[in-house]
Amino acid sequence: VINVQSGERDKILLDEMDTNCYENCDYVSMETNEWQDWPKRFGDEASHNIAMELHVPCRDPIEHLMAQCSHDEIPRKLNCDASTDDEYFKSVEDCFVRARGQYNTKLEDYYNVKCYDFSKQFTIYLDHMERLLENKPIRPDNYFERDTNAPRDKESECIWEKPDLIEKTKKYLLDNVEYFNFCDRCMGTEKEITRDPRSRLEVVMGEALG
């Protein structure tokens, strides 16, 4: 079903998905504007009497911010030479693409929420999920990646030349955006799916010896 409202290809109408598409799904990947969309569609941690986990992709906060700045056809730029913090942080906020609405700590009341390293989504994370999900009866010969953003011109991003500004921006993101705060709390803990298996083993051995 093509999303005729937006004219985009490969998009299924949300009404169609909500009516027909979830009952036989082992895995649902969905990018929403509002965190409430998850409990609204799937209730609490058990959907159709099946326990659910919510997996949140995490990446370096500054890299993620700059990817959002380049989301539109004409990239937005941080005001690295702003005369006040308010002026600078407004340029940070102007780059946000659904950053504030997509995650809320209340999701942790509904689901067992875990995180994974965005850069490992097609390696370690995929290997992890392959052990849990059924194989498709018909597999495509090739996968064609469809980029949604234009290639970034990292050399034009002024923030990388200002280490103090990087740290100030990272603190602002962690303090003011729940998604970044969650990733900071989750990555490197037992809740991270892509964590180094040796670290997990050390935790298990430590608990056993303790």
Kindly report the pTM of this predicted structure. 0.80
Q: What is the pLDDT of residue 103?
A: 93
Region 25-53 average pLDDT = 81
Handedness of CA 41, 118, 120, 187 (dihedral sign): negative
Q: Which residues contact 53 (CB under 8 A, 6 or more apart)?
A: 111, 112, 113, 114
At 67-103, the pLDDT tens digits run: 999 887 788 999 999 999 999 999 999 999 878 888 9
Q: What is the pLDDT of residue 132?
A: 87
- How far apart are the C-alpha atoms of 6 and 125, rounded to whole Å? 31
Q: What is the pLDDT of residue 4?
A: 43
Residue ranges of the alpha helices (H) in the chain?
Answer: 14-20, 37-42, 61-69, 85-95, 107-110, 124-130, 163-176, 178-186, 197-209
Most confidently modeled range among 27-36, 82-91, 134-143: 82-91
DSSP β-bridge partners for residue 117: 58
The percent of residues in the chain predicted with pLDDT above 70, rounded, is 78
